[in-house]
Amino acid sequence: QQLRALFYALPPGESSFRTVEEVPDYVEKSIPFFIAFIGLEFAVSWIQKRKLPGRINDGISSLSLGILSRLPDVLFRSIELISYIYVWSNYRLFELPWDSPWTWYLTLLGVDFAYYCFHRMSHEVNILWAAHQVHHSSEDYNLFTALRQSVVQKYTSWMFNLPMAFFIPPSVFAVHLQFNLLYQFWIHTEVITKLGPLEWILNTPSHHRVHHGRNPYCIDKNYGGTLIIWDRIFGTFEAEDAKVVYGLTHPVNSFDPIMLQLRPLAHIWSTFWATPGFCNKLSVIFKGPGWGPGKPRLGLPEEIPEITGKEVPFNPHVPAYLNCYALVHFAVIVDLYTELLASMTILSQGTVLLRIGFIILSLVSFGLLMENKSKAGILEIIRCLVFIGVYKLGYFRSQFSFLGYAYEV
């Protein structure tokens, strides 16, 4: 069932629930399949091209951003569900039956159309793009990229779903919110080429490769989540043509997850104060990322950097042992993170905050190590000393008790 959820293949009879509390956490249950598909992608890529689909530094960076984006959920309930349930409880106009197949299919279309609208706005409004660009910052394109998410994006996306709260039960919405997210995992790959007639209706790996490209023909195209029909209707569709070069038109060139999250916001802040005129200052925030005084709302297409085919991804040279070191220690952090998720209901708030703080410190340290920064070694020594102290005091715990001594070593 969890495998089929990745492909939006659970019909209404299997995925309709009376209350939100009955809705399974499909995302959490799908984690083993995420891992399995990543392994399969590596195997197929090696068989097809005799090379792996990504790099260690970029993969750790994507996973770090994925973990960072989920940390607020440890402390707070999902704002998307809280806001939806509030509107439903206080302002709904009428109530569609939760167990009707028609409600299920209508919600499928509604959630996907809301995602299209939000996704398009996230590319066309600078302040929203500052959050969403995190997902586009990888210069590789693989299943790790699907996990590269923004910390703050969810705090703006929720409002696009609220019109459905006037008539669609929260339990049905909660199912499709997860399905729409899960579907978008498997389309982040290069090992799948074209899918025939399905390309007309569904968002596919080919369509989504275009969306992640920085080629001029790829910019602001293919916003769909599950369905590509919205792009075909509203004129934002583009078929895959020339070889796609991935990433941002102006790369951030960092593996530090905090830098990747905050540098675009810092750029907006400095541009805001440097731009003369109140209306122009507002335009810096609410018009497109390419806008400037005297330019169209979305900027000038001719200012998009041309693709020569000789672009080299950001890839600082580090010794092989350092990559191995970062990989092993990152695996430890993943273990501590998953243990935190499993036990957060029985932990004190102070312990939860301590663990979150240490996870963030570790992810930043790994990013700086992979950039070969001069001060990274000092930060890593401090991080390891902090780990030993809090681990010996019992504030950290592995899911696997037999690894306790190995962690201290």
Question: Could you read off the pLDDT of 104-142 as tens digits, one per residue?
Answer: 999 999 999 999 999 999 999 999 999 999 999 999 999
Confidence (pLDDT) at 406: 80
Average pLDDT over residues 200-219: 97
pLDDT, mean of residues 177-204: 96
| pLDDT single digits (tens) 314-358 | 999 999 999 999 999 999 999 999 889 888 888 888 999 999 999
Query: CA 287 to CA 20: how far, in whole Å?
Result: 37
Which pLDDT value is given to residue 291?
94
| pLDDT tier at 11, thresholds 50, 70, 90 | very high
Q: Taking Cα atoms as reference points, which of 286, 299, 248, 295 lies closest to residue 121? A: 286
* Mean pLDDT, rounded, for 268-293: 95
Four-CA torsion 103, 105, 108, 111, nearest 10 degrees: -40
Query: Looking at residue 14, what is its pLDDT?
Result: 95
57 close to 315: Cβ distance less than 8 angstroms? yes
Contact call for residues 288 and 125 (beta carbons, < 8 A): yes
Which residue ranges make up each domain of the chain?
Answer: 1-234, 320-407
Other beta carbons less than 10 A from residue 159's beta carbon: 13
Nearest of 354, 376, 374 to residue 364 by alpha carbon: 376
Task: Supply the mean pLDDT for the chain.
Answer: 93
pLDDT at 391: 85
Of 403, 399, 404, 401, whose CA–CA distance to 339 is shortest?
A: 399
Distance, in Å, from the CA atom of 334 to the CA atom of 42, rounded to the nearest integer, reads 20
Rounded CA-CA distance 142/6 in Å is 16
Among 68-72, 133-137, 397-401, the range with the most confident prediction by mean pLDDT is 133-137
Are 276 and 284 within 8 A, CB to CB? Answer: no
Per-residue confidence band for 75, with pLDDT thresholds at 50, 70 and 90: confident
Average pLDDT of the residues in 202-230: 97
Instruction: Identify the pLDDT of residue 9.
Output: 94
Q: What is the pLDDT of residue 49?
A: 87
pLDDT of 333 reads 93
CA 228 to CA 244: how far, in whole Å?
A: 19
d(CA 255, CA 260): 7
What pTM value is reported for the model? 0.93
Q: What percent of the chain has pLDDT over 70?
A: 100
The 10 Å Cβ neighbour count of residue 267 is 16
| For the chain, percent of residues with pLDDT exceeding 90 | 81
* Cβ neighbours of residue 254 closer than 8 Å, sequence gap 6 or more: 260, 263, 314, 367, 371
Nearest to 254 by CA among 388, 363, 92, 128: 363
In three-state secondary structure terms, 185 is coil
| DSSP state for residue 213 in the 8-state scheme | B
d(CA 336, CA 316): 28
The pLDDT, as a whole number, for residue 83 is 95
